[in-house]
Amino acid sequence: MSEESKAKVEAVKASSKAEKAAADPRTMSVDPATQQMIIKARADGVETIFDRAASMKACPIGASGTCCKNCSQGPCRLTISAKNPNPIGLCGATPETVAARNFARMVAAGAAAHSDHGRGVAETFLAAARRETSDYGIKDTVKLREIAPDFGVEITVQDEEGNVLDRDIYEIAEEVGVKALGEWGKQNGEILLAKRAPKERYELWKKLDVVPRGIDREVVEIMHRTHMGVDQDYKNLIKQSSRAALGDGWAGSMIATDLQDIMFGTPYPTRGGINLGCLNADEVNIIVHGHEPLLSEMIVVASQDPEMIEYAKTKGAKGITLAGMCCTANEILQRHGLPIAGNYLQQELAIVTGAVEAMVVDVQCIMENIANVASCYHTKIVTTNPRAMMASGETEHIEFDEHHALEDAKRIVRLAVDNFQNRRAEVMIPSQRENQVVGFSYEAINYHLGGTFRGSYVPLNDNIINGRIRGIAGVVGCNNARTVHDSSHLILIKELLKNDVIVLTTGCSAMACGKAGLLTPEAAPVYCGSGLAEVCETVGIPPVLHMGSCVDNSRILMAATEVVKAGGLGKDISDLPAAGAAPEWMSEKAISIGHYFVTSGVYTVFGVTLPVEGAPVFKDYLFKGLEDLYGGMWDLVEDPHEMARKMIAHIDKKRAALGLDKGKERVLMDMADRQKLDAA
């Protein structure tokens, strides 16, 4: 090709790139605040993930799951075609083996991320129990006493005369902390919390030999098995993935949730704002972004310190606004009612407002590009965790240590305040700020449905049995720049509500709901079918219950277990008229979550894409084969309307199996009636 024609080709490419990059923001997000900030970013000459998603295509072979780069003889890219119906890699690995190995590694990474978070929590918990730090303490003693027996820790002692006495709280906490931390390094036996699952489920796991032995062990074993030349049986690889994923859901994440609740308080319904409109032009704005509440809890304290607020005033600010981003946001919102600035895809855009003095990050879901965006404004990016540093841009590292946590937090807040006077770009904060009611831990649902007199899941079950509520859906997970921001979450959830399916939500999905006004009791008559609306209005709850961050998906497992225990809806999670979805997933954590839901008995459908298309036999195993083993299975549906239809069809299938499809009389059932149903 001549130089001239090369130049022409380049020019065409560049102009089509520019065209795509300038695509209408309304095709990129349904959230007006996000659209407005994409426009501002472009005007400011700042590139964001939305622009890159328009100009950069995903690798189709990687996306189909059949690119193997686990040794240096590859990458081997396997594509099934008419010419080559049975492609294999250099070593002979089939598309099934490659896709299963890649899938298993995603589970390992996701389980590791959640569980390493949990380990940090357990370490801090132990430091608090041993009173090695004065910054953390034991707040929820009721929950501590409730969960201690699950770890084999006694909560009472007998004195010499045989009187039963309560044990000292800090003594219990220390023993729980030691036992909990031990779950990571255990080599044999079973993780302790597996027995929290319904009995039938636990027995099934035992029969299938997938009860995790120890959290770390299962992750390491995946890395071994997926090394070149080890496990070459896709079913066996998925069996190990099941152990690791269950070790995430029923141990790493569940312990994180439990111990966070005990240290910082179990969430109960509280109000809070959401979206970029929560930032304040005339205040110092600090965003805590990431996942672990250990540091953000302290920043909450530091930012509310009257001395700090006075200090901010000396710099010309009216006060300090602390807002969250991603799951850290959910943590501080559900316990303190502090606002959420936005979900995953809004992190760069918060900086684009020109009003953020500091974005404080810890681990997970932090885009590397925030450092580049920050360099166009005055925002300081502060990394705080030795596991997550940044090489690009100018970032400050203030390492957080639980032994002097409040001191670290004050240093960070002071740095933000000092930066207030350095604002240099035009400040533009979108007006969107929605109200929401959040904080539905499974304990809170218990309380709200039954009231103080009769706290239990029985009224929920009764309403499912009498048909006012058709079923339960867990809609969770991320945003994904390959699909319209927030759109699939909202279409799916509105469709479910219309069909009387109550929705439990966490993570970035919960934030999409919050921004769209679905997390208020007032949403019930607007979006729900008449049965669900009636229940929500009677009890005064929103039709979509925000249960927390992504490690709090373990709360959904516990809620499902409580529903089973309340009776009348079968003996196992797989009997429930329930389904799960992650319509805009993107992170490996979502794959681990999806897999522990499937192996806990839930039909789980993902949107966007799944790396299975290049290996049809493996795909069939995940989508159909697993149902025979676990009663739950994977599915992929891009269109959220179709996703809702399939979830509802599954719920109806379960209702029919329970004999609930006959149009019951709407009466409250007593225990004998429920037992009769169980026996049927």
Within 8 A by CB and 6+ apart from 373, the residues are 41, 46, 48, 348, 351, 352, 379
Single-letter amino acid code for the residue at 621: Y
Work out whether 322 is an interface residue with ligand NFS (CB under 6 A). no
Beta strands at 578-582 and 340-342: parallel, antiparallel or unpaired: unpaired
Within 8 A by CB and 6+ apart from 119, the residues are 181, 184, 252
Residue whose CB is less far from ligand NFS, 359 or 508: 508
Residue whose CB is less far from ligand NFS, 459 or 583: 583
DSSP one-letter string for 385-434: BTTB---SS-EEE----GGGHHHHHHHHHHHHHHHGGG--SPP------E
Cα separation, 333 vs 435, whole angstroms = 12
Contact 167, 156 (CB under 8 A): yes
Residue whose CB is less far from ligand NFS, 344 or 442: 344
Residue whose CB is less far from ligand NFS, 245 or 569: 245
Tell me how many residues contact ligand NFS (CB under 6 A).
13
Among 437, 504, 508, 556, binds ligand NFS (CB under 6 A): 508
Cα separation, 467 vs 655, whole angstroms = 9
Contact 414, 308 (CB under 8 A): yes
Residue whose CB is less far from ligand NFS, 68 or 373: 373
Using DSSP's 3-state secondary structure scheme, residue 372 falls into: helix
Within 8 A by CB and 6+ apart from 60, the residues are none
Work out whether 589 is an interface residue with ligand NFS (CB under 6 A). yes
Among 25, 439, 459, 477, binds ligand NFS (CB under 6 A): 477
Work out whether 542 is an interface residue with ligand NFS (CB under 6 A). no
What minimum distance in Å lies between the beta carbon of 249 and ligand NFS?
13
Residue whose CB is less far from ligand NFS, 89 or 342: 342
In a 10 Å sphere around its CB, with 0-12 CB exposed, 13-18 middle and 19+ buried, how is residue 406 labelled? Answer: middle
Work out whether 327 is an interface residue with ligand NFS (CB under 6 A). yes
Cα separation, 66 vs 84, whole angstroms = 14
Work out whether 365 is an interface residue with ligand NFS (CB under 6 A). yes
Residue whose CB is less far from ligand NFS, 97 or 587: 587
What minimum distance in Å lies between the beta carbon of 584 and ligand NFS?
9
Work out whether 548 is an interface residue with ligand NFS (CB under 6 A). no
Query: For residues 252-291, which are near ligand NFS according to CB under 6 A?
Result: 291
Work out whether 492 is an interface residue with ligand NFS (CB under 6 A). no
Contact 108, 591 (CB under 8 A): no
Residue whose CB is less far from ligand NFS, 588 or 613: 588
What minimum distance in Å lies between the beta carbon of 469 and ligand NFS?
25
What minimum distance in Å lies between the beta carbon of 549 and ligand NFS?
6
Work out whether 143 is an interface residue with ligand NFS (CB under 6 A). no
Work out whether 361 is an interface residue with ligand NFS (CB under 6 A). no
Among 97, 296, 587, 592, binds ligand NFS (CB under 6 A): 587
Site string for ligand NFS, 288-317 (x = CB under 6 A): ---x--------------------------
What minimum distance in Å lies between the beta carbon of 107 and ligand NFS?
14
Residue whose CB is less far from ligand NFS, 326 or 516: 326
Cα separation, 494 vs 473, whole angstroms = 12
- At 553, list the tokens: 């998906």
Cα separation, 224 vs 221, whole angstroms = 5
Work out whether 507 is an interface residue with ligand NFS (CB under 6 A). yes
Among 129, 381, 545, 550, binds ligand NFS (CB under 6 A): 550
Work out whether 120 is an interface residue with ligand NFS (CB under 6 A). no
Cα separation, 421 vs 411, whole angstroms = 17
Cis omega (within 30 of 0) on the bond before 75? Answer: yes
Residue whose CB is less far from ligand NFS, 276 or 326: 326
3-state SS string for 67-78: EECCCCCCCEEC
Residues that bind ligand NFS (CB under 6 A): 291, 326-327, 344, 365, 477-478, 507-508, 549-550, 587, 589
